[in-house]
Amino acid sequence: MALLEVKEVYFKYPQATILENISFHIEPGEVFCLLGPNGCGKTTLLDCILGWLKPYSGQILFNGCPIQDMSAPQIARQVAYVPQIHEKTFPYLVRDIVIMGRASFIGPFDTPSAEDWAIAEKALDMVGIYRLKDRPYTQLSGGEGQLVMVARALAQNSPLVVMDEPTAHLDYRHELMILETVVELVKQTGLAVLMATHVPNHGYYFENQGIRTQAALVKNKQIMALGKPSEVLSEQNLGQLYHIKTRIIDCQLDGEALLKQVVPISTIDHRSS
Amino acid sequence: MLFIAAPLAVILVSLLIGRYPVDIGTVVNVVFCRITMQSCNIEDIYQTVVWDIRLPRAILGAMVGGCLAISGAAFQGLFRNPLVSSGILGVSSGAGFGAALAIILFHRVAAIYTLAFVFGILAVVLSYIISRVYNGTPTIMLVLGGVIVSSVFSALLSLAKYLADPLNELPAIVFWLMGSLASARYSDIYIAGIPMLIGVSGLMLIRWRINVLSMGDREAHSLGINTSLNKAIVIGCATLATAGAVCVSGIIGWVGLVIPHIGRMLVGNDNRILIPASFSLGAAFLVIVDDFGRILTGSEIPLGILTAIIGGPFFVYLLKKTKGGGW
């Protein structure tokens, strides 16, 4: 039984179909990269998996249990969420944000216990921002803020973490920091990560790190290709998906395995299209 | 501890304040005798002034101030907006219209309380129903519902004023809308105290969840809470508390908006602490303002006027002193 199984999912709004016949599954210790142009339905798919939207048809199962039979706290114990943009309203302290990951374990009229605080602090430690715990999170940089969101997801203790373009607004170093954190967590804890991303190289990055990685390319409401990054993220597929010319290059790091990367060359007929 | 001690101290001090001079020894004696149920040889007039007039007024003031402030803090968290106050969903406008209606139709205090309370609750229920155009209750639709309902009830209130007898009823409506604690009795505390107590207890219990709700619906859901249910509980409790307060005191602005901010500056934004702190600060603030209202001039100044006149400069002072507290 897979940790997450998505079976023939369709999603429709009254005026438009967003997703057609989406199927895949995710196992523990695996990174699943969801790629596709803007508006292809990635976020809708993630919302279905988080139980926020209901598919029109098809099934979403966590360890064999259909999502529509699960309550909000039950879903939260299976899947945690790192949003693309977190709208900061009140200047909460970092630890107050991270402890919210424990909400599904805390009764409606309760407050976090000492054990919950310990778990939250461990989560902060795991992503390496323990030192920030007493800072207002509105004062953090974008990268640090995103790490707080990752820590909050970890405090949830769910086997799957859904990340919606977690590096979208980050600089080069912080992007790499998030990726390294994900690799570390997947390797150490057997976490599974489902990540929507606009960067094909993220798929290669995880594969290069020796993690079991799947990449799914979503085009025209459907999964156009699904498999290992080295098989799926080909020059031909990326050309079809994004209308761009690319080259896949290898480079040999000293003593280590081959590093694969996508290098963009040019767009294809973007003036005429 | 300070949160409990501060309002109590303020209530005690306010027993000393008023036009009829009572010295501190007498006050302490009266309170001590009454609490321990002993008979004591203090003149009846002192007992009446301290125990039957000033004390219920101070207690009611503390409860009203606390309720308005705690509801404001809860709504600010729920709506993720620091500019929201306890009246956001129309409870004040509804109560105002209810009171005006009662003044015109029934001329009785009990009717004013009842209709103000009922229409206050009704306004919020209407806002809530309006917001349910989709599944769930999107925050923006709730706010919009509140704006619509508030404006309709304001219009109805104007209509009531327009139709009211200008010699007796109109002044009564206008004075009610300015807010006052002058007629406070123990019976007010018992009756209006029930919804206030239920509302405040509910908000105190669910206060940590307000943190989670303030992350927005989608994130709160992904963190594992039933957003519609939790929102409904917070709205219900805050509305009970506010409606209970407004129906005995009239419209008192400012407290539900600014006291939570003062709380944020003093204790931070974590609702675990902010919610009780808001209650305590609101309670102390309103009792103090009411004391000023009683002694500043020969006749009483309505509370709704003083809260802003005293509270405004005080808020600016705090803003300067705490540099805004992290905003």
The reported pTM is: 0.89
Q: What is the pLDDT of residue A66?
A: 93
Look over chain B and give the mean of its residue pLDDT values, rounded to a whole number: 86
B119-158 confidence digits (pLDDT tens): 999 999 999 988 887 655 678 888 889 999 999 999 999 9
Question: How far A108 CA sits from the closest chain B CA (Å)?
Answer: 6
Residue of B nearest to A74 (CA): B224
Residue among A170, A231, A156 nearest A200 (CA): A231
Q: What is the pLDDT of residue B324?
A: 57
**Separation of alpha carbons B143 and B147, rounded Å:** 6
Beta strands in B210-326 (DSSP E): none
Q: Report whether pLDDT(A272) > 60.
A: no
Give me A53's structure tokens.
């939207």
Average pLDDT on A9-32 reads 91
- CB-based contact (8 Å) between A145 and chain B? no
Average pLDDT on B234-256 reads 91
The dihedral built from the CA positions of residue A240, A244, A248 and A251, taken in this order, carries a sign that is negative
pLDDT band at B83 (very low <50, low <70, confident <90, very high): confident
- Pairing of the two strands A16-26 and A4-13: antiparallel
- CB-based contact (8 Å) between A76 and chain B? yes
- Determine whether the interchain pair B224/A92 forms a contact, defined as Cβ–Cβ distance below 8 Å: no
Q: What is the pLDDT of residue A220?
A: 86
Residue B274, helix vs strand vs coil = helix
Residues in chain B closer than 8 A to A77 (CB atoms)? 224
Q: What is the pLDDT of residue A174?
A: 87
**Separation of alpha carbons A124 and A17, rounded Å:** 40
Residues in chain A closer than 8 A to B207 (CB atoms)? 111
- CB-based contact (8 Å) between A48 and chain B? no
**Separation of alpha carbons B237 and B235, rounded Å:** 6
pLDDT band at B85 (very low <50, low <70, confident <90, very high): confident
- CB-based contact (8 Å) between A93 and chain B? yes
Measured in Å, how far apart are chain B's first and last C-alpha atoms?
27
B31-59 confidence digits (pLDDT tens): 777 787 777 777 777 778 878 888 888 99
Q: Report whether pLDDT(B160) > 80.
A: yes
Q: Which is higher by pLDDT, A97 or B85?
A: A97
In the chain, the amino acid numbered B198 is I
Got the DSSP string for B168-214? THHHHHHHHHH---TT--HHHHHHHHHHHHHHHHHHHHTHHHHHHHT
**Separation of alpha carbons A228 and A214, rounded Å:** 5
Domain ranges of chain A: 4-232
Measured in Å, how far apart are chain A's first and last C-alpha atoms?
44
Report all structural domains of chain B as residue ranges with CATH numbers, in order of start: 2-322 (1.10.3470.10)
Q: Report whether pLDDT(B170) > 70.
A: yes
Residues of chain A numbered 111-140 and touching chain B (CB < 8 Å): 111-112, 136, 138-139
Residue B309 half-sphere exposure, CB side, CA atoms within 13 Å? 12
A230-263 confidence digits (pLDDT tens): 889 988 999 989 888 999 988 877 666 678 888 8
- Determine whether the interchain pair A100/B215 forms a contact, defined as Cβ–Cβ distance below 8 Å: yes
Q: Report whether pLDDT(B105) > 60.
A: yes
Residues in chain B closer than 8 A to A100 (CB atoms)? 211-212, 215, 223
Of the candidates A71, A79, A112, the beta carbon closest to that of B208 is on A112
- Determine whether the interchain pair A91/B269 forms a contact, defined as Cβ–Cβ distance below 8 Å: yes
Q: What percent of chain A has pLDDT over 90?
A: 55
B248-258 confidence digits (pLDDT tens): 888 888 888 88
DSSP class of A202: H
Question: How far B260 CA sits from the closest chain A CA (Å)?
Answer: 12
Q: Report whether pLDDT(A170) > 70.
A: yes
pLDDT band at B326 (very low <50, low <70, confident <90, very high): low
Average pLDDT on A267-271 reads 73
Q: What is the pLDDT of residue B23?
A: 78
Q: Return the CATH superfamily for domain A4-232.
A: P-loop containing nucleotide triphosphate hydrolases (3.40.50.300)
Q: Among A47-51, A267-271, B314-318, whose mean pLDDT is lowest?
A: A267-271
pLDDT band at B18 (very low <50, low <70, confident <90, very high): confident
Of the candidates B206, B264, B270, the beta carbon closest to that of A96 is on B270
Alpha-carbon Rg for chain A in angstroms: 19
Of the candidates A103, A109, A111, the beta carbon closest to that of B223 is on A103
Chain position carrying tokens 């921002």: A129
Q: Among A70-79, A203-212, B22-31, B267-276, whose mean pLDDT is lowest?
A: B22-31
Q: Report whether pLDDT(B84) > 60.
A: yes
